[in-house]
């Protein structure tokens, strides 16, 4: 009888995160002390899901395209999880320079679990041009299919890493080519807003229809912003649209999976950017990737990341909610007819 593998709980991973932070996020510590435990936890979640990554000892996805962001731990997790025969790594100019001196640590870990995998690194992808990423993925898919006779169903694209434009390009390519795409969802520490290793879940992209009457709100869940959310709901209702925020819904499955589903389904997205919140920025990036109609609001333009400041923004004062309501209604009416 095979020995049951114990899956570490969240307390274990929170403790490891604290130690890792003290060690200035040393990669050797992560791969020696955290990686195997995180992989075990991730596999247990996949086992409980409907995602199938292997048939017997054979990987379902023979070739994988993997963009690299600034968190290279995810590269090893994804690669070891899928065990493709051919793994194509796509850096940007920035991430290649950043990871040049220690990417061998990641490769060694991948080879430890997947000794026969062929790892190919393509020339750097333009970090600020999603069309470049789309082009490179299409070239990769064509090359892999011609050389190895793999079907589209045997290819996979990871959209977890890379810059926002790279992620947008990867999603667009996956959808247009009808190639399966996946991402790692992760929980964040409430105090530091850092991702907690070991809380990763694998989610497969689902391309859903758009409901033009649905307005999905992405914002921090904070009592300080309750009046703002109340204003948003009233504005949406008064222009005969439906307002949804994920914490008000009843659903099964992971919260990030639900968030993505709402983003893809909604006709309009409202994003509140007054507070620095990584989840909100990530969700906003997904909305831009899907070319959604977006209304961004903030109390302080200085709080908004530089790459968003040039975009249209509704700036409001917290003590003048009625003025915000009028501005929102005007924006919503304009987008309804756009």
Domain ranges of the chain: 10-204, 211-336
- Nearest C-alpha neighbor of 38 from the set 18, 2, 12, 4: 12
Q: Note whether 79 and 64 are within 8 A (CB).
A: yes
The full length of the chain comes to 338
Q: Please give the Cα distance from 177 to 156 (Å, whole number).
A: 11
The alpha carbon dihedral of 154, 159, 160, 163 has a sign of positive
Q: What is the pLDDT of residue 207?
A: 67
Of 265, 196, 270, 261, nearest to 233 by C-alpha is 270
In words, the CATH class of domain 10-204 is alpha beta
Query: What string of DSSP letters covers 218-251?
Result: E----GGGHHHHHHHHHHHHHTT-EEE-GGG---
Provide the H-helix boundaries in the chain.
10-22, 27-29, 35-47, 73-82, 93-99, 103-113, 130-148, 164-177, 226-238, 255-265, 278-289, 321-336
The pLDDT value given to residue 251: 54
The CA-based angle 76-6-84, given to 5 degrees, is 25
How far apart, in whole angstroms, are the C-alpha atoms of residue 181 and residue 129? 20
pLDDT, tens only, 236-290: 999 999 999 988 876 555 677 778 888 988 999 999 999 888 889 889 988 888 8
Per-residue burial over 270-297, b if 16 or more Cβ lie within 10 Å, else e, is: bbbbbeebebbbbbbbbbbbbebbbbbb
pLDDT value for 134? 94
Q: Which residues of the chain have pLDDT under 70?
A: 1-5, 207-209, 250-254
Q: Report phi then psi at 336, rounded to 5.
A: -60, -40
| Residue indicated by tokens 């600020």 | 128
What CATH class does 211-336 carry?
alpha beta
pTM, entire model: 0.64
Which residue reads 């940007």 in tokens? 92
Query: Can you state the percent helix, strand and coil of the chain, rounding each to 5?
Result: 45, 20, 35
Angle between helices 255-265 and 278-289 (to 10 degrees): 40
Q: In angstroms, what CA-CA distances link 219 with 16, 269, 283? A: 29, 11, 9
Q: Do domains 10-204 and 211-336 have the same CATH topology?
A: yes
**Of 42, 250, 51, 64, nearest in space to 157 by CA:** 64
State the pLDDT at residue 5. Answer: 63
**Which residue has 């509704």 as its token pair?**
314
- Total Cβ atoms within 10 A of residue 89: 24
CA distance 92 to 328: 37
What are the tokens at 251? Answer: 């659903």
């Amino acid at each position: 009888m095979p020995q049951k593998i114990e899956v570490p709980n969240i307390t274990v991973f929170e403790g490891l995160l604290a130690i890792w932070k003290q060690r200035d996020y040393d990669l050797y510590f992560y791969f020696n002390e955290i990686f195997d435990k995180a992989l075990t936890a991730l596999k247990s979640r996949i086992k409980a899901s409907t995602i199938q990554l292997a048939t017997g000892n054979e990987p379902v996805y023979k070739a994988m395209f993997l963009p690299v962001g600034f968190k290279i731990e995810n590269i090893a997790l994804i690669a070891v999880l899928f065990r493709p025969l051919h793994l194509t790594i796509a850096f940007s100019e920035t991430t290649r320079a950043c990871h040049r001196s220690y990417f061998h640590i990641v490769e060694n870990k991948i080879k430890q679990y997947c000794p026969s995998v062929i790892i190919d690194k393509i020339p750097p992808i333009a970090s600020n041009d999603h069309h470049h990423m789309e082009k490179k993925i299409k070239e990769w898919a064509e090359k892999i299919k011609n050389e190895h006779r793999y079907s589209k169903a045997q290819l996979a694209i990871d959209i977890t890493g890379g810059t926002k434009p790279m992620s947008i390009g990867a999603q667009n390519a996956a959808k247009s080519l009808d190639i399966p795409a996946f991402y790692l969802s992760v929980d964040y520490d409430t105090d530091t807003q850092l991702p907690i290793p070991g809380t990763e879940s694998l989610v497969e992209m689902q391309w859903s229809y758009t409901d033009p009457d649905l307005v999905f709100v992405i914002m921090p869940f904070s009592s300080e912003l309750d009046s703002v959310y109340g204003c948003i709901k009233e504005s949406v209702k008064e222009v005969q649209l439906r307002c949804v925020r994920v914490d008000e819904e009843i659903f099964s499955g992971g919260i990030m999976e639900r968030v993505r589903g709402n983003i893809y389904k909604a006709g309009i997205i409202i994003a509140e950017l007054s507070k620095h919140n990584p989840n909100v920025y990530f969700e906003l990036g997904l909305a831009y990737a899907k070319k959604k109609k977006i209304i961004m609001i903030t109390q302080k333009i200085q709080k908004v990341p530089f790459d968003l400041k040039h975009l249209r923004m509704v700036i409001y004062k917290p003590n003048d909610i009625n003025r915000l309501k009028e501005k929102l209604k005007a924006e919503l009416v304009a987008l309804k007819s756009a």
